[in-house]
Structure 1
Amino acid sequence: MMSAKLLKVAWRAIGAGVLMASSVLVSALELRLLDGMTGQPLKDATVVWRLGTNEAGTLSADANGRVEISLPATGSNPVRIIGRKQGYAPMTMSWEARNAPVRFDLVLPEAQHMGGRAMDESGGPVVGAEVRLILPQRLSGPWVAVDDLPLKSDSEGRWGCDWVPKNAAYVYVEVSHPDYLSSDGGVTLEALRAGTAEQKLFSAATVRGRVFDEGGEPVPGATVVLGSEDGLWPGADTSETRGDAAGFFEFRRIR
């Protein structure tokens, strides 16, 4: 039978082992958010971070622009951070958790407002159009978190944002809507900065149908090819889709 003294020593050993395991499994990533022009810390900047598919966490930077994130030191899941502050472009960076640095400076460039309007052929507004901005991005290191900031046109077809870096050499604009052919490019930086950039979307047809067999029963998952009568061969200008479980199919945005 183990004596009280030996039992106490054993529990101390177990406790020490748990502490050692904790120190191995958890590490800290210290972020410092800085002004891209002055290099000064950005107090009260926001950091949104996510480990793998876990729920995102939000932290606020202190007076020195610092936040600290606890990470599993041996994890293979990616950790992604996004730094934000009003008046600055949001920047993002990611690593595998086990390869994350102990300290990292995330520099936020000053931002500018840009906007425009999505119109149909007659000049009327296109409501609910998705707008995607393509900006210059670095080949490595932090990049502008464009994909985390979706844009849509309002009831007047207008859209706007205040997070485009001031030093962006170009901004390429893609506008899309399920009922129209997509529009891209064709606007100047000056028009975008003035909020007067206009892009026309042209109406497109939608072809819907259902596939039946000879007995009148729906054919699930049938492959349907759309093209000209004399042009349905491999490599021709055709579109292809697959019907659903009830045999219904749909082609959208047909010229």
Structure 2
Amino acid sequence: MDTDNKLLESYATIGSERAFRELVERHINLVHSAALRECGGNAALAEDIAQAVFTELARHATQLVRHPAIAGWLYTCVRRMTANVRRAEDRRQRREHEVITMNELLGPDPTDQLWQQVRPVLDDVMHELNPEDRTAVVLRFFEGRSLKEVGAALGLTENAARKRVERSLEKLHDLLSQRGVKSTAATLAAVVAAGAAMAAPSALASTVANGALATAGSSSSAPFTAAKLLDLAKSKIAAAGALVILVAAVAVWHHLRANRADAQQTAQAPAGVPAATIAVAGDSAQNNSAALVPTPTNAAVSSPMALQLVEAETGQALPRAKLHLFYLLEDGRGKVVKAVTDANGKLGVDMPQAPFRALNLFVTADGHVPKVTSWGFGRAMPAEYTMRLERGVTIGGVVVEEAGQPIAGAKVEFDGPGNDMSLPENIQFGPDTPTVTDACGRWSCNLVPRDLEQVSLLVTHADHAETSATIRPDAPEANNSVITMKAGFSVTGAVQDSNGIPVEGAQVREVRMNSEGEHSKTTDASGTFEFKSMKAGELMLAVQAKGFAPAVQTLQVTGTVSALRFQLGPGQLLRGRVTDEEGNPIANAWVETTRRAFDKVKWSTT
């Protein structure tokens, strides 16, 4: 599946009507739902707003090719276009068959009373968020993107994307609480995900695409002809329904983590790689090329990119720096490459022997602040690139049990400032930055930016509950912090069918806003399961077993939980057929459902 940026690039550079129509179809539910809320449920006015938004997208396609999140831009544009369309409302004639009432469109409330509280104020509070947080919420909950997809779009690791989304959701939760909307963050996530992007009228995508193309074509240099527009007017595009079924020829980036171990390779710097020009990141035209015509993604690049890593303060080369290269291939597969710079701080970054859409490059060097940079999504990959890493400061401490005994083997992960999507490089604690406590429970990290206000830590251990902490690098105790991990609580329960018979082999898993760090158990012959060392707070569990419909429960863990019961009803069989545009069957396709915010159903391949 092509990225938003690639589709927009195809439209901007060669006038691809197919690409633009696919963009409209992909985002029509997001735009139409936001427009409906902005205009108080007036369906006809919402369609006018949607038309205006996509017309703006067509008009400004060239400028937006490099935009990091087209969905976020569209969502923001809705509010601006609403004001314009409202002013023109009196001049528009409304046809009776285009008027759809709010009740008819929405049908049953997504989550009843809470959604009725959230819906009238959702867009107001969304626009109170900063652009970074707003984009994270739009991508994750309004468009139902996986965390891997959010990370790829924002230049983050999956773990960093998880933390970004969680922080953004908390901010949204706080703003809604100030307006009297009371709920937990997890419940809010489910409500917003279910209600924020309802299905648009079936013909709206086609109508909007045709109108936007016609309007943009009349006022720009896009190569459209009357004959092409007539062909467009004849076509019908159905907007996506409430249940979105995504089909790809192979497992997509969403499944990268499961295949990561098999995909990892170590890249070696080829002989004779030319030295990259040393330049200050941010000032170099070479480093920050804003080419409007990126390196083609429909053909593999044969020659390696010459990468040079240097220390920002001295310009000295950084040998043995660790790099994680995350490639998103053209066919949707993910590829992970691990590499190390040579004695001169150089590395020849080989291109995969297959077309690719994007590359996220995470760099870690001992004693220096880690960074990430990305290519693709409209940013061309250069022949040479120099990255300058600033010296870091050290923080550290000890991890102990409640009784004060040190905990060996605890994993400590770090999170710092959010990314500025307008910059070519950002500070990012990537895959090589976590550390593990020694036999005395001690840990240290010398990668911290000296001007960072605070560092967020996530500490995990098999025998203790997950623990979060923050450290101020300039605090006197920054190198002697004490993090206490609690033993956690046991959560036990049973899974039964509708007749009370135990279900053996059911999968019971913790559901988070991401798949990372989740616990999973399988029921035994008596249908029982047990989770150990669970932290206090809200816990959502999803249960699935062959032949049964999935079930989900949310509970508050304040102590040991026992006698939790899941009763599974019979599942319904859904069959389908995957074909290409000409109706030819596609074998080995991957089919999955996306229930926004939580993917709880597993599908088989055909």
Q: Give the AA of the match of 1:70.
A: D
SS of 1:68 mapped into structure 2: strand
Alignment RMSD (CA, Å):
3.8
2:335 to 44, 53, 56: 53
Q: Give the AA of the match of 1:148.
A: D
Quote the Cα distance in structure 1 between the aligned partners of 2:337 and 2:463: 34
**CA deviation string 1:143-175 (max 9, x = no partner):** 333432222222222211222223322212232
SS of 2:335 mapped into structure 1: coil
Q: TM-score, normalised to structure 1's length? A: 0.65
User: Is the 8 Å Cα contact of residues 420 and 426 (structure 2) preserved in structure 1?
Assistant: no
Q: TM-score, normalised to structure 2's length? A: 0.31
The change in CA–CA distance for 1:144 and 1:192 in structure 2 (over 3 A counts) is: farther
Q: Is 107-116 or 182-191 further displaced after alignment?
A: 182-191
Quote the Cα distance in structure 2 between the aligned partners of 1:73 and 1:219: 45
**CA deviation string 1:28-79 (max 9, x = no partner):** 32223232224x14253535353442543333163xx543323259721543
Gaps of 5+ in 1: 1-22, 226-239
Alignment of 1:180-199 (within 5 A): 180-185=464-469, 187-189=471-473, 190-191=475-476, 193=478, 195-199=479-483
Q: Give the AA of the match of 1:112.
A: V
Q: Give the AA of the match of 1:122.
A: A
The answer to whether the aligner puts 1:219 opposite 2:491 as a matched pair is no
The answer to whether the aligner puts 1:109 opposite 2:390 as a matched pair is yes
Alignment of 1:63-212 (within 5 A): 65-71=345-351, 75-96=355-376, 99-140=380-421, 141-185=425-469, 187-189=471-473, 190-191=475-476, 193=478, 195-208=479-492, 211=495
Specify the alignment match of 1:13 in structure 2: none
1:36 to 312, 328, 333: 312
> C-alpha displacement at 1:243, in angstroms?
4.0
Quote the Cα distance in structure 1 between the aligned partners of 2:522 and 2:318: 54
Gaps of 5+ in 2: 1-298, 328-333, 511-518, 535-556, 560-606
Quote the Cα distance in structure 2 between the aligned partners of 1:101 and 1:170: 34
Quote the Cα distance in structure 2 between the aligned partners of 1:109 and 1:162: 11
User: Is the 8 Å Cα contact of residues 521 and 531 (structure 2) preserved in structure 1?
Assistant: no
> C-alpha displacement at 1:197, in angstroms?
0.3
User: Is the 8 Å Cα contact of residues 206 and 250 (structure 1) preserved in structure 2?
Assistant: yes
Task: Determine which structure has the larger helix proportion and give its number.
Answer: 2
Higher-Rg member (1/2): 1
The sequence identity of aligned pairs, in percent, is 22
The change in CA–CA distance for 1:145 and 1:248 in structure 2 (over 3 A counts) is: same
Quote the Cα distance in structure 1 between the aligned partners of 2:493 and 2:393: 47
Quote the Cα distance in structure 2 between the aligned partners of 1:159 and 1:143: 21
Matched length = 215
Quote the Cα distance in structure 1 between the aligned partners of 2:507 and 2:308: 55
The change in CA–CA distance for 1:68 and 1:47 in structure 2 (over 3 A counts) is: farther
The change in CA–CA distance for 1:122 and 1:60 in structure 2 (over 3 A counts) is: same
